[in-house]
Amino acid sequence: MSRETFITFLEKVTSRVKARGAHAMIKKELHTHMEELRKSYETRGRSREEAEELAVEQMGNPYTVGDRLNRIHKPRMDWILIALFAMLAGTGLLTGFGAASNLSLPASYFVERQAIWYAIALIFLVSVMFFDYRKLAKWCVSFYGAGLFLLAATSLFGVTMNGAQRWLAVGGLTIDGGMLALLFFLLGWAGMLHRIDLYKSWQWQIGLTAMLWAPAVIYLSMPYIVLAVIYLLFVTAMFLFSGAGRKTILTLGGLNTLAVLIVAAGAYVTVPGARFSHLEGRIGGFLNPNAAADGHGYMYMMVRQALSEAGWFGNGLLDTGHGLPEAHTDLAFVYLVYALGWSFGIFLCLLILAFVWRICRNTFKTPDHFGRLLVIGGAVMFSLPAVWNILMGLGILPIAGVSLPLVSYGGSMLLLYAIVLGLILNVYRKKDIIQPTM
């Protein structure tokens, strides 16, 4: 007998395991176990060949072992998360009625368009669920560069709407360039932070700090403050779970503190005074809407009135008495509460909470470091705007251009979140068939 005994046994075992990606991990684990058994038998006076034969015999029938491992190491689908997504998508169709109340088109027009966007988003979601996401890690710098290019193009050549230059005309479509750039930054930073141990020198750490703040400065200049905050927070969250050493964390923390001061000083010097006055007015409208009821406080007064008139069961989707601007996008939560009541509003909050909790729950189920970083970043991208949108609707946070993920009307937002959700489901599917990393 020779080592061929082990090889033959392992081949028979893996022949019963359908997930080819798990074969290497299974062979490694079983081979290690058989080596331990062989050494144990050799210490009892058995020859090497006898020890190998006894080790294989003790492992049991290879086909039985393979069938058992096939049940363990197979792709998993998070059907609960998919069901929650479907429920949020169904809720999102209702925001079309909010668009109809603001614009001179029938509700069916917006509902149909939103349904088309959901169909396209579903195609993207399914498309990214079934390939080997780990191959994306090696393209991290390219993804970062693509995101920076898209963001810069939007800043330089974009279309200005509602005071923000955030839209990019591509053919006959108008896309939210700043929003879609987040996807590329997610992929880029997940890949770079996956290899955080390579960036221990001070030159690399200065470079990483510059790479972090370049997109943030562009977002702030557009101005697209909300996306700047989302971007910085999801990168920070991924960094904190990247496994970086204490020295790296302290060094990068110091460099980024310095970067914050530089950006703040630069904004103070370069941003026109009128923009600061506008920001001051918006803050004043949030803190004391009654004092600015004809200006920056007007929207807060409308939100308060709409919520006070909602009741438990609402006024109906076709009721236009709310007078809410952006009822289908930024104020989608307020509109749905007004139309369907506080009972539906509570249900929607619980639905979103369950959706975000499910994503966070899956974060540490994968043994793959790169996949874990993707899920952490995706969890922040979903949870932060969801919490902000609901809290600003309740008057706890100032109103900003924050859509409710998967619910608010809009194609660019849907595509972004569908792809991110597809990546999260992809990571979950492979949690039992890939080898642990870090």
Residue 239: HSE in the Cβ half-sphere, 13 Å Cα cutoff: 20
Q: Write down the pLDDT at residue 1.
A: 39
Is residue 164 a contact partner of residue 222, using CB atoms and an 8 Å limit?
Answer: yes
For 121, residues 6+ apart whose C-beta sits below 8 A from its C-beta are: 414, 415, 417, 418
Q: For the segment 173-192, what is each residue's pLDDT rounded down to a tens digit?
A: 778 888 999 999 999 999 99
For 346, residues 6+ apart whose C-beta sits below 8 A from its C-beta are: none
Which of 399, 315, 319, 352 has its CA nearest to residue 98?
A: 319
Which amino acid is located at 387 in the chain? V
Q: Write down the pLDDT at residue 80.
A: 95
Q: For the segment 375-384, what is each residue's pLDDT rounded down to a tens digit?
A: 999 999 999 9
Is the Cα torsion angle 390, 274, 258, 186 positive or negative in sign?
positive
- The burial class, CB within 10 Å (0-12 / 13-18 / 19+), for 192 is buried
Q: Which two tokens stand for residue 193?
A: 């932070």
Residue spans of the domains in the chain: they are 1-73, 79-430
> What residues of the chain score a pLDDT lower than 50?
1-2
Is residue 370 a contact partner of residue 137, using CB atoms and an 8 Å limit?
Answer: yes
The packing angle between helices 332-340 and 369-393, to 10°, is 60
Q: How far apart are CA 132 and CA 368, in angstroms?
A: 12
Q: Which two tokens stand for residue 216?
A: 């943030």
Name the strands in the sheet holding 159-161, side by side, starting at the edge strand that comes first in the sequence.
Answer: 159-161, 164-170, 173-176
Q: Write down the pLDDT at residue 358.
A: 94
Q: Write down the pLDDT at residue 6.
A: 84
Strands (E), 111-190: 159-161, 164-170, 173-176
Q: Write down the pLDDT at residue 164.
A: 65
Q: Write down the pLDDT at residue 141.
A: 95
Q: Which two tokens stand for residue 181?
A: 């750039």
Through-space distance between the first and last CA atoms of the chain, rounded to whole angstroms: 37
Q: Write down the pLDDT at residue 241.
A: 92
Using the 8-state DSSP alphabet, how is residue 405 labeled?
Answer: T
Q: Which residues are paired to 164 by β-bridges?
A: 161
